């Protein structure tokens, strides 16, 4: 297998074309077959069009910078440890979604009406800040999307949609006085242990729990304050406070004196 540095320009175009076709069809074998029969010149033209249409949606890499003044931290070169990846991309992606992708998605959604039995032609779209109501306590920062459509009789149809307005400096928006943020499937604590012998797994789509059916094995290190137990079927060792049964530590495997 060749690395990206060894691949020829035509091979890179083949991979890019196959990737796009796979994203559209969902069938990898079909995407590969279609990519093979497309002439190289056609691939060049198509990829240039994709680059023009989606260049505003692509995020430019941000150089990772170590702001620590601790010499010990500098020695370990944290930039290299994180592969020079910065979570700033997540924040920038939210801005792109609001500023660029949202406008494109709304435009494409209303253009669908142009092919209906009673067609409405898309004319324009614009965004404006919604004025705050005087004396409002639980304020919301909103934008109003104004879409203008025309019909075959020359009538104009104005459509207005209220949307949350993202703050470009913080990446959050305010609704009914509360700050909110689009996290894009990020879960702060995806795996937790609410109680000994119980594990909880959470994603943006669902939550499920796994319970141990075996009896816990008390391990060395248990004392009057702490209880160290191992659940064989979960293969997890818990350290809990005896008084409250609150888990202090959980570690995969069997670990006496945890």
Domain ranges of the chain: 7-58, 88-180, 191-252
- Compute the half-sphere exposure of residue 79: CA atoms within 13 Å on the CB side of its CA: 10
What pLDDT is recorded for position 4? 46
Q: Is the separation of the CB atoms in 197 and 211 below 8 Å?
A: yes
What pLDDT is recorded for position 2? 46
What pLDDT is recorded for position 74? 67
What pLDDT is recorded for position 147? 93
Angle between helices 9-25 and 28-37 (to 10 degrees): 140
What pLDDT is recorded for position 41? 77
Model pLDDT for residues 42-55, shown as the tens digit of each residue = 777 766 665 555 55
Model pLDDT for residues 165-195, shown as the tens digit of each residue = 877 667 678 888 888 876 655 566 777 777 7
List, for the chain, all residue ranges whose pLDDT scores fall below the cut of 50: 1-4, 56
What pLDDT is recorded for position 133? 82
Write the DSSP symbol of residue 235: T
What pLDDT is recorded for position 1? 43
Residue with tokens 């559209």: 24
């Amino acid at each position: 297998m060749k690395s990206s540095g060894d691949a020829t320009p035509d091979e890179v175009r083949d991979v890019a074309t196959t990737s796009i076709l796979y994203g559209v069809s969902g069938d990898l074998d079909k995407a590969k077959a279609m990519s093979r029969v497309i002439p190289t010149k056609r691939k060049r033209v198509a990829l240039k069009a994709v680059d023009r249409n989606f260049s505003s949606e692509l995020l430019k890499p941000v150089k990772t910078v170590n702001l620590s003044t601790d010499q010990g931290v500098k020695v370990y070169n944290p930039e290299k440890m994180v592969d020079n990846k910065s979570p700033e991309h997540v924040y920038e992606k939210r801005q792109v979604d609001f500023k660029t992708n949202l406008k494109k998605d709304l435009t494409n959604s209303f253009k669908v009406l142009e092919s209906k039995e009673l067609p409405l032609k898309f004319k324009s779209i614009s965004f404006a800040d919604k004025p705050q109501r005087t004396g409002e306590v639980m304020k919301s920062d909103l934008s109003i999307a104004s879409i203008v459509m025309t019909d075959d009789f020359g009538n104009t149809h104005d459509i207005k949609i209220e949307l949350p307005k993202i703050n470009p400096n913080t990446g959050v928006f305010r609704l009914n006085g509360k700050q909110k943020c689009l996290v894009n499937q990020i879960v702060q604590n995806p795996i937790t242990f609410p109680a000994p012998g119980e594990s909880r797994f959470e994603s943006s789509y669902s939550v499920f729990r796994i319970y141990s059916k075996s009896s816990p094995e008390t391990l060395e290190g248990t004392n009057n304050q702490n209880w160290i137990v191992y659940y064989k079927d979960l293969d997890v060792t818990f350290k809990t406070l005896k008084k409250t049964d609150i888990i202090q530590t959980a570690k995969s495997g069997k670990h006496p004196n945890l």
